[in-house]
Amino acid sequence: MYYDGKNTKNYTHAGICSRRKAEEYIAQGRVKVDGKAITQPGFKVDPEQAIITVDGKPLKEEKKIYILLHKPRGYVTTMSDPQGRPIVTDLLPEIQERLFPVGRLDLDSEGALLLTNDGALANQVIHLRFEVNKTYEATVRDLPKKSDLQRLEQGIVLDGKKTWPARLRVLKKKKDVTVIEIIIHEGKKRQVRKMFQAIGHPVIRLKRTAYGRLRLENLPEGRYRFLDKIDVKKLFCKKN
């Protein structure tokens, strides 16, 4: 999917081809607008008003799909993996549309993962400006001090930059580990793991349980469900 302002994005949305291929089709005169062939990729057109065809077939906007997946550990959140590890889309064999994951969950993390073909919505979920909360359950070694948890809530310096404020709550205390709920709206690589590592309590297990008010709930591991409009709105609700 492409959202760079060029009308080649329309062809990728329709599932016809990649952006590079779309540019080749345009150069070959295979794309027509209102019956007239165009050969310049920068040609501006309103897809809702104009009739666009590729090889004589009308261009149709791809239906937007939103899926919540319970990602298991051992899967990577990329579209392909040079190391041959399982990818999250392997868990969607029945889905014909080309979906992509929104945000990251590293190989050893699990839980709620949004997949879609809606690039605009994906950007909103990821972009800091929209402050979409992500809720995690982090099982950490030993019991952190209250003062250390307060440091994480206020923000700490990671990789030379201070994190935004977070919300933390101790859920369970066991002999050698503690389960802590942490809510952040950033999405830096391995951020939650780095935050707890910084206070001397490394994460043993990490599970994302919600985006906004869209919760994983009892969705079985490795399974997914389609989201409706009400579900999508829950992504942007800040109160849990």
Active site residue 4: no
Q: What Å distances lie between residue 232 and 75, 84, 108, 121, 227, CA to CA?
A: 24, 32, 26, 9, 7
Distance CA 17, CA 37 (A): 18
**Residue that the structure tokens 């009739």 belong to:** 51
Q: Choosing from 4, 46, 55, 106, which is the catalytic residue?
A: 106
With 0-12 / 13-18 / 19 or more C-beta atoms within 10 angstroms meaning exposed / middle / buried, residue 106 is middle
Alpha-carbon Rg for the chain in angstroms: 21
Distance CA 106, CA 113 (A): 11
Q: What Å distances lie between residue 1 and 5, 9, 88, 91, 203, CA to CA?
A: 12, 7, 18, 20, 34
Q: Which residues are catalytic?
A: 106
